[in-house]
A and B are shown apart, each in its own frame.
Chain A
Amino acid sequence: MVLTDDGQALQTRHLGFTISPHEECGVEEAVRIVEAQGGEVVALTLGPAEAEDQLRECMALGADRAIHLVSDEQWDAQGTAAAIVEAVRAAQSEDAAPFDLIVFGNESADAGNYQVGIRVAYGLGLPVVTGVKGLTVSEGRARCEQEAAGGRDVYDVPLPAVVTVKEGLNLPRYPSVPAKLRANRKPIDARAVAPPAPRLEQLRLVVPEGQGKQAEVLGHGPQAAPAVVEVLQRLGVA
């Protein structure tokens, strides 16, 4: 991993962005529910202008429209949750209909704060279940299976509700070319937002020591097998 000179971000000049695994499964699940039961899926993100690509990916998966809270700045989890609460309230008042289900990834791949979905639930006064790997929505309730030590814990909560999901909930589809083309024509409601003063302020990122080992080359091709077995024996696993 290579950091930018100021140590505030990953050097992404030569990298592409994609939706994180948990969030991709969240979008897929929402689309499946709406395909089976009717309704509408709205994708929402907070991020720089380039994040529009991920919203297009969500709409290629089947989301109907998107809300983009546009900002280049650093946001902590509290600020992020507050902005999402405000955006959800605004969207609900414009449509005069509340969202039945608000789906988050359980934790973001990069920041790993484990809290934005929970804070949004409190902000909206809704029940929340996290770590969801099985979801059934029917008759105004959500049955949520949460991975737990030795199996799964099941929760049953009334809608509207917030759920935060994990990869493995489903296997997201590969969007077809027509679906991608349709996604380019779907509407995105983009509005600029500015972060409040952070209360968990990122000072800098650090690459931990001990990365970049020098591996012992045991050989090339199948001829390496005797050397590998020797290592297995030395490690006591053969």
Chain B
Amino acid sequence: MEGADDLSLQALTLARSLGEARPVRIEGPYAPSAWAAALVGAAGADDIVGPGSDRGNEVLAHVAAQLDLPFAANVTDVAGEEVTRIRWGGTLLEEARIHAERRLLTAAPFAFEATAGPVQAQALVPNLGDAATVVEHLAPETGGGISLSAAKVVVSGGRGVGSAEGFAILEELAGLLDAAVGCSRVVTSAGWRPHADQVGQTGTKVSPDLYIACGISGATQHIAGCKGAKKLLAINDDPEATIFGHADYAVIGNLHEVVPAITAELRKARGA
């Protein structure tokens, strides 16, 4: 739908599992209601499948509202009129039944293999009319440093860090590892770090090779944001902390002692 991006190619895999699929590509400025109307016009009486991206879910919700049909967002499996879809940011699944003659679905990110290209897609040009449309694009604020979503390593702090200043030791370790610094929701709510640094269901979802969680208890809200990490190292002084149930490696101890010790050991190992 948005060109051949990966989530769209995953959605195409889901669509093909339902029957013969007709991929379409929508052209022109983004205008969700107009894009939805173009899709509705092109689909006839067929099912409509989109990617589980912000835009995919938005356009399909407009389609559903225009057709007054149910819409199942972020499905991981479909069998006839029964679907499985993600809830609580993917920490829980829901099995549901669609009561309608047509299925409107988005594919949960990374639940399906991407269809191998190239894909021939029919181009749709929506009639913008008076649809709400994008009038301006603002470039990202340059925070400098490594972006959370692209980082190979994320060093993240939670309530246990204790203050904005407490992040200095995490910044130092992150600097050595070319890592991005993240945090939990407690930290942004307290104003210690900006919301852009928040890893979680309502923050950024990360997928680094290694996620180092320092003084983070492991609330569902946070796990939803870091469960894409290949490996998770948790440092926490509470051996009962929930985060250890999601971790590959554990250090039980006070992060204010452990993190500087790791930094020093790393420098030693590098012979600095």
Chain A positions near chain B (C-beta within 8 angstroms): 1, 10, 20-22, 76-78, 107, 109-115, 118-119, 121-123, 127-131, 145-148, 150-157, 166-168, 171-172, 197-208, 211-213, 215-226, 228-229, 231-233, 235-238
The reply to whether B261 and A206 form a contact with Cβ atoms under 8 Å apart is no
The reply to whether B210 and A237 form a contact with Cβ atoms under 8 Å apart is yes
The reply to whether B71 and A77 form a contact with Cβ atoms under 8 Å apart is yes
Complex Cα gap A21–B139 (Å) = 25
- Residue interface bits B71-97, CB-to-A below 8 A is 1, else 0: 111100000001010111111111111
The reply to whether B253 and A112 form a contact with Cβ atoms under 8 Å apart is no
Known: A112-B74, A118-B58. A129 touches B91 (CB 8 A): no
B115 near A: Cβ within 8 Å? no
The reply to whether B135 and A200 form a contact with Cβ atoms under 8 Å apart is no
Please, which residues of chain A bring their CB within 8 A of the CB of B64? 78, 115, 119
B82 is contacted by which of A146, A154, A203 (Cβ under 8 Å)?
Answer: A203
- In the complex, the chain A residue whose C-beta lies closest to that of B194 is A168
Complex Cα gap A219–B258 (Å) = 10
Complex Cα gap A198–B70 (Å) = 9
- In the complex, the chain B residue whose C-beta lies closest to that of A76 is B70
The reply to whether B58 and A220 form a contact with Cβ atoms under 8 Å apart is no
- In the complex, the chain B residue whose C-beta lies closest to that of A123 is B65
How many A-B contacts if CB must be within 8 Å? 240
A193 to chain B, nearest CB (A): 19
- In the complex, the chain B residue whose C-beta lies closest to that of A147 is B54
Chain B positions near chain A (C-beta within 8 angstroms): 30, 32-33, 54, 57-58, 61-62, 64-66, 68-74, 82, 84, 86-100, 132-140, 152-153, 177, 185, 188-189, 191, 195-196, 198, 201-203, 209-210, 220-221, 231, 233-234, 244-254, 257-258, 260-262, 264-266, 269
B257 is contacted by which of A151, A221, A236, A237 (Cβ under 8 Å)?
Answer: A221
B96 is contacted by which of A200, A213, A238 (Cβ under 8 Å)?
Answer: A200
- In the complex, the chain A residue whose C-beta lies closest to that of B234 is A215
Known: A78-B70, A129-B132, A201-B99. A118 touches B65 (CB 8 A): yes
Please classify the interface of chain A as helix (H, G, I), strand (E, B), loop, or mixed, using the class held by over half of its residues: mixed
Complex Cα gap A222–B253 (Å) = 7
Please, which residues of chain A bring their CB within 8 A of the CB of B70? 76-78, 199-200
**Can you list 5 A-B pairs, Cβ within 8 angstroms, ordered by A?**
A122-B62, A127-B132, A203-B97, A220-B253, A235-B209
Please, which residues of chain B bring their CB within 8 A of the CB of A168? 188, 195-196, 198, 202-203
Complex Cα gap A200–B68 (Å) = 12
The reply to whether B258 and A115 form a contact with Cβ atoms under 8 Å apart is no
Known: A212-B245, A224-B251. A131 touches B58 (CB 8 A): yes
The reply to whether A171 and B191 form a contact with Cβ atoms under 8 Å apart is yes
The reply to whether A153 and B257 form a contact with Cβ atoms under 8 Å apart is no
Please, which residues of chain B bring their CB within 8 A of the CB of A129? 132
Complex Cα gap A76–B57 (Å) = 16
The reply to whether A218 and B250 form a contact with Cβ atoms under 8 Å apart is yes
Known: A21-B202, A237-B152. A218 touches B65 (CB 8 A): no
Please, which residues of chain A bring their CB within 8 A of the CB of B133? 155
